Amino acid sequence: MADTVTGQMTWKPPGLEGSALHLRLDSSEPWRHYKEFPQYIVPDPSGFSEGYATFIALLKKDWKCI
């Protein structure tokens, strides 16, 4: 995972159905599914929500949850 980049995370961007982790590097960018950022993906343990491990890892890197 890249150590110097911080961004924003959300579980349900406005206008999208369902709940999945979405990321963006800047508030001026559109939200994108976290799998579009392979450099940040952390594999999820069995039984966890898709994207949860990535969410926790990015929180520890000072990403903001919106």
Residues 16-30: tens digit of each pLDDT: 777 789 999 999 999
- Token digits for 65? 């949850």
CA triple 11-65-42, angle to 5 deg? 70
DSSP readout, 32-49?
EEGGG-GGG--PPPTTSP
Question: Model confidence over 6-16: pLDDT tens digits?
Answer: 999 999 877 77
Is residue 11 within 8 Å of residue 19, measured between CB atoms?
Answer: yes
CB 46 within 8 A of CB 34: no
pLDDT digits (tens, 9 = 90+) for 30-53: 999 999 999 999 999 998 888 999
In the prediction, which pLDDT does 41 show? 96
11, two tokens = 């579980």
Q: What is the pTM of this model?
A: 0.84
